A and B are shown apart, each in its own frame.
Chain A
Amino acid sequence: MTDHRRTLTLTAVLSALIVVSTVAAPMVSARPAHEIPVSEVSTADLAEPNADGWEAVPASDVPLSSAPSSVPNADDTSIETVDVQAARTDQRLYVRLEWQDATRDMNASATREFADAVAVQFPVNTSSRPPIAMGGPDNRVNVWYWSGSTGTQELLAGGAGSTTPFENPTVQANASHSGTGSNATWTVVYSRQLDAPSENRTDLRTDGDLDVAFAVWNGSNGERSGQKAVSEWHYYPFSGGPQGPPYETLLWTLAGIAIVAVVGVTSFGIYRTQGAE
């Protein structure tokens, strides 16, 4: 009888542990590679690159590589990674980008001078993912752009070469270059209201995941136009609930049920064998 009870208890504990771990695993360790978490915050002290509010917001390391482009020297880019943080209040989305760049290139006032720049790209229509290189004619992108020489611009593009600035940007950007030598970094914070301010601007109050991509230009390396370091498409998980694409949760659930079933059947077998003695 005591043996019987011990076996049952063990089975129950084991099963419970397995269930807990299957549910918890995707939330803790396996954040999907292209997901960039967004912190929901109630009040925002986030507009400045060095605002205290950013300390609590997790950062993602987004790898960059040279964009495919027909411009000369397109594969000569120098920025390899950008740290991305994102936070959302019930009114605004804040995106903070930080990358290493030893030179602070703020001007394009000489014939060979180009300014550092950074951009965030969203689909105009958040229900489908546009071609990564400036979108396509039927699937346009909204780009938040900041450069040392032009300041903030809000752009619309429907394919390479079609980029057009909106007349009145609704995006705010604040930039700061800090540190010295090779450890010096640029930090740029963008923010915009969640509601789409007009047609052809991305609605950030979407309930689905929001695709997003990043680009960085190093002015002193002559980078401009298609000569830029870009990310692949990533996404902000605005769909809520367990994070990650739905199929992942489904797979974990199925695996959990299967494990519980196997453990249950095995325990029952042992119990039966012992009971028969």
Chain B
Amino acid sequence: MSTDQQDDQGEEDTLVNVADGVDHQVAMVMDLNKCIGCQTCTIACKNLWTEDGGSEYMYWNNVETKPGEGYPRGWEDSGGGWESSEHSDRSPGEIPDDEDYGRAWEFNHEEIMYEGSDEPLRPRDGAEWGPNWDEDQGAGEYPNSYYFYLPRICNHCTHPSCVEACPRSALYKRQEDGIVLVDQDRCRGYRYCVEGCPYKKVYYNTVSKKSEKCIFCYPRIEGEGPDGETFAPACAEECPPQLRLVGFLDDEEGPIHKLVNEYEVALPLHPEFRTQPNVYYIPPFAPGQHTEDGETVDIDRIPRQYLRELFGDGVDEALDTIDAHRQRVRQGGDSELMELLQDKNPAKQYRLEVFDDD
């Protein structure tokens, strides 16, 4: 699927398709070629938002190895999303089991620390799955095995099926910036949002009995911190290789708009769910395959078909475009695209001024 932005609502002056009734749309571009799987984003998010009782198992931001089962296990086959691009009929989904998320394991700290046991520190029984259980496993045979990391947050979709799934309208898309939120006063813990999200990025808090999700760190982008300063979401700011761009999708001066709509090199994950995500990915490159003798040959290490399954058919063109610009720069030419992808200026990476509306 190429960026097929021209469906309905005749927006004036912009090609960018934001949801009806939404003024602007927050967006993120993640360059998968920069992700080192360090989980700093995961921990930054967890420390901020999901440390309380009932949210231990939640990772609003997670980084999973692809190919792999992901978090929660098997989420790509758990249903949800829309039946067609009319966005009238939702596809039913399933609530992941506790085991699919991975329960917090119990360890034998007590025995080792206080009872003098000399057995190794290890989880007690039942540690048979967890987030990143299959980390770095990937697929393929030596010497052509492959994997890459996929950081995931809520996509703050233009057509969020979680919002539509809630019979109480407890989930909503914020008018000012399209952030999808759960109204904790309206939520009654029915979990239709959990099953209705095809990315499984809404979570049920087992203590508060209400659903929760990534809030795009809205207090940070609103400048609600102690010093009144505006910050990008914690997952973006804390990322050691700084692989995330943050801004409005409809900010035509910003890098996100250029990467998504002009160069069409940043792609949504699983566009076939038809929720129109607003997190976009620069697809991963990998070295060519190796022969038994260690010679590099011109065969994709990551099967192109696998990337199409993740990012849609637009991935071919996206990879070709990036490749062409790379060649151009290698031969001494200029490329705005290469500059955008390599920019180290935080002020350009995080277009925080767009969030400042007063």
Contacts and interface: CB of A to CB of B under 8 A. Distances in A.
Interface of A: 69-72, 108-112, 149-150, 160-163, 224-226
A71 B168 contact: no
A112 B97 contact: yes
B95 A163 contact: no
Interface stretch (B188-196, B218-226, B249-257): B188-196
Given A70-B167, A149-B209, A161-B167, A108 B95 contact: no
A163 B188 CA distance: 9
Given A112-B98, A161-B169, A225 B209 contact: no
A225 B190 contact: yes
A242 to B, nearest CB: 42
A225 B101 contact: no
B204 interface: yes
Given A112-B97, A161-B169, 17 more contacts: A71-B167, A71-B190, A108-B189, A108-B209, A110-B98, A111-B95, A111-B96, A111-B191, A111-B194, A111-B206, A112-B98, A160-B167, A161-B168, A163-B168, A224-B190, A225-B167, A225-B168
A73 to B, nearest CB: 8
A225 B188 contact: yes
Contact of A111 (B169, B204, B207): B204
B92 interface: yes
Given A72-B92, A110-B206, A161-B167, A225 B192 contact: yes
Q: Which 7 A-B pairs have the closest CB atoms?
A: A225-B190, A161-B168, A109-B206, A224-B190, A110-B98, A72-B92, A112-B95
Given A70-B167, A161-B169, A111 B190 contact: no
29 contacts: A71-B167, A71-B190, A71-B192, A72-B92, A72-B192, A108-B206, A108-B209, A109-B206, A109-B207, A110-B97, A110-B98, A111-B96, A111-B98, A111-B206, A112-B95, A149-B209, A150-B209, A160-B167, A161-B167, A161-B168, A161-B169, A162-B168, A163-B188, A224-B189, A224-B190, A224-B191, A225-B167, A225-B188, A225-B192
B276 to A, nearest CB: 22
A63 B97 CA distance: 34
Interface of B: 92, 95-98, 101, 167-169, 188-192, 194-195, 204, 206-207, 209
A162 B166 CA distance: 12
Contacts of B169: 161
A4 to B, nearest CB: 77
Give the dominant DSSP class at B's interface.
Answer: loop
Contacts of A112: 95, 97-98
A70 B90 CA distance: 11
Nearest to A72: B92
A109 B98 CA distance: 10
Contacts of B209: 108, 149-150
B30 to A, nearest CB: 27
A112 B98 CA distance: 8
B193 to A, nearest CB: 12
A36 B59 CA distance: 51
Contacts of A162: 168
B72 to A, nearest CB: 9
Query: Counting chain A CB atoms within 10 Å of each CB, which of B167, B168, B194 scores highest?
Result: B167
A26 B70 CA distance: 67
Contacts of B97: 110-112
A3 to B, nearest CB: 78
A54 B95 CA distance: 41
Given A72-B92, A72-B192, A150-B209, A111 B101 contact: yes
A27 B347 CA distance: 84
- Central interface residue in A72, A111, A161, A163, by most chain B CB within 10 Å: A111
A25 B222 CA distance: 73
A259 B200 CA distance: 72
Contacts of A110: 97-98, 206
A163 B168 CA distance: 8
**Interface centre among B92, B98, B188, by most A CB within 10 Å?**
B188
B296 to A, nearest CB: 46
Nearest to A107: B206
Contacts of A161: 167-169
A224 B168 CA distance: 12
A69 B168 CA distance: 12
A109 B57 CA distance: 12
A110 B99 CA distance: 10
A229 B322 CA distance: 57
Nearest to B97: A112
Contacts of A224: 189-191
A111 B192 CA distance: 12
